[in-house]
Amino acid sequence: MDRVFIEGLEIEALIGIYDWERRVRQPLVFDIEMAFDNRRPAASDRIEDTLDYKAVSKRLIGYVSQTDFGLVETLAERCAELILDEFGVHQVRLKLSKPGAVRGARAVGVIIERGRAEGG
């Protein structure tokens, strides 16, 4: 299966479990790979046949910027569900990084892979 990717998508969000985190927006970085059959858009050369990564990015920016989850795990799950449900991809691999969350580390976060059930 082909992959369409979005790398380094930075979105400001209210996220965290500590009181100070609940008062400031923090940058989150998303790296996303989506399984999508690119043969049809390659043959037609039409944007309507593609998995439009700009549309995926805009949807995630709108969604994430309005959330206020405590855990990156919860946010990652919801974002994966959104991509699977709204963009017709077969599988998604999502890396969500929280830069500067741990002293001495560039970033911390989660990587998840989710897919749709056959026929779903």
Active site residues: 98
CA distances from 48 to 44, 53, 54 (A): 9, 12, 12
* Whole-number Å distance between alpha carbons of 29 and 32: 10
CA distances from 29 to 26, 68, 107 (A): 10, 16, 9
Strand stretches in the chain, DSSP E = 3-13, 26-35, 91-99, 107-115
